[in-house]
């Protein structure tokens, strides 16, 4: 039986060579090279990080926080370069969720409510 | 090159057969069969779920929440059966973090701050 780490490295290689990853990589480079798109991307990311930090430190998310997150999300998703990047991110995120569901199945089963 | 899903299934098999997983599984069964330990485990889990739900819905975590989480955590970790389970959970969690770091490296690199 192969080692769990060897298999993990093989999975990393598979991911790096998967078309969804190479396409995401190209979409990211295109965004970095577009000044308007890059600025929107950074603004969006900063708002996201701010919200995550609030959640992680147990602070309440205000209506204003939600409103400003929605506002930048709308502006960012109105940009075509960002749109292409987000579409690829969505595809990759779906793939990673599927991969994660497969590899964590033994744990899901272990902690599933017993049927006795 | 092998398919990313095939590799994920191989990783699942590796995990299921890893000694850390079989030992965790045994520790979990032992806890389920011990009435005192099982009750502490369920109390602890309910408090954790309550906190997570607050975080996910953007509610503030109060000092009382923190205090009651600490109280049940102390009572649970004073139980030997729970102690053994938590030690195995910790080991498995470390393994999963390592595996996750390996397989998500391409993404970490992609989003790393550019050095230009
Ligand atoms: Ca442009
Ligand atoms: Ca007992």
Bigger pLDDT: A100 vs A55? A100
pTM: 0.80
Is B4's CB within 8 Å of A25's CB? Answer: no
Whether B79 and B36 have beta carbons less than 8 Å apart is answered as yes
Ligand 1 ion: Cβ-proximal residues, 5 Å cutoff: A 34
Q: Does residue A98 carry a pLDDT above 60?
A: yes
**What are the φ/ψ torsions at residue A61 (nearest 5 degrees)?**
-90, 120
Beta carbon pairs, A and B, within 8 Å: 102
Q: Which of B92, B14, B107 is nearest to A95 (CA)?
A: B107
Question: What mean pLDDT is predicted for residues B28-44?
Answer: 96
Q: Does residue B1 carry a pLDDT above 70?
A: no
Determine the distance separating the centroid of ligand 1 and the alpha carbon of A92, expressed in angstroms.
Answer: 24
Q: How far does B15 lie from chain A, in Å, by closest CA? A: 7
| CATH 3.30.160.20 describes domain B4-111 | no
Which residues lie closer than 8 Å to A107 by C-beta, 6 or more apart?
Answer: B92, B96
Bigger pLDDT: B87 vs A113? B87
Closest-CA residue in chain B for A104?
B12
Question: What mean pLDDT is predicted for residues A99-103?
Answer: 96
Q: Does residue B50 carry a pLDDT above 60?
A: yes
Question: What mean pLDDT is predicted for residues A86-93?
Answer: 95
User: What is the average pLDDT score of chain B?
Assistant: 92
Q: What is the dihedral of CA A49, A50, A53, A55, to 10 degrees?
A: -110
Spell out which residues of chain A touch residue B9, defining contact as CB-CB under 8 Å.
102
> Could you count the other beta carbons within 10 Å of the beta carbon of residue A31?
19
Q: Does residue B114 carry a pLDDT above 70?
A: no
Q: Does residue A69 carry a pLDDT above 70?
A: yes
pLDDT band at B111 (very low <50, low <70, confident <90, very high): confident
pLDDT of residue B42: 94
| ipTM for the whole complex | 0.79
Q: Does residue A11 carry a pLDDT above 90?
A: yes
Q: Does residue B92 carry a pLDDT above 60?
A: yes
Q: Does residue A1 carry a pLDDT above 80?
A: no
What are the structural domain ranges in chain A? 4-111
A18 vs B4, B16, B25: nearest CB: B4
């Amino acid at each position: 039986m192969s080692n769990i780490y060897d298999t993990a490295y093989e999975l990393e290689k598979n991911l790096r060579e998967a078309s969804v990853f190479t396409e995401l990589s190209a979409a990211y480079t295109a965004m970095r090279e577009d000044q308007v798109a890059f600025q929107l991307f950074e603004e969006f990311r900063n708002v996201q990080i701010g919200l995550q930090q609030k959640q992680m430190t147990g602070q309440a998310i205000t209506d204003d926080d939600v409103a400003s997150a929605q506002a930048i999300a709308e502006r960012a998703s109105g940009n075509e370069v960002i749109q292409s990047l987000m579409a690829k991110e969505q595809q990759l995120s779906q793939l990673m969720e599927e991969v994660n569901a497969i590899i964590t199945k033994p744990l899901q089963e272990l902690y599933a409510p017993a049927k006795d």
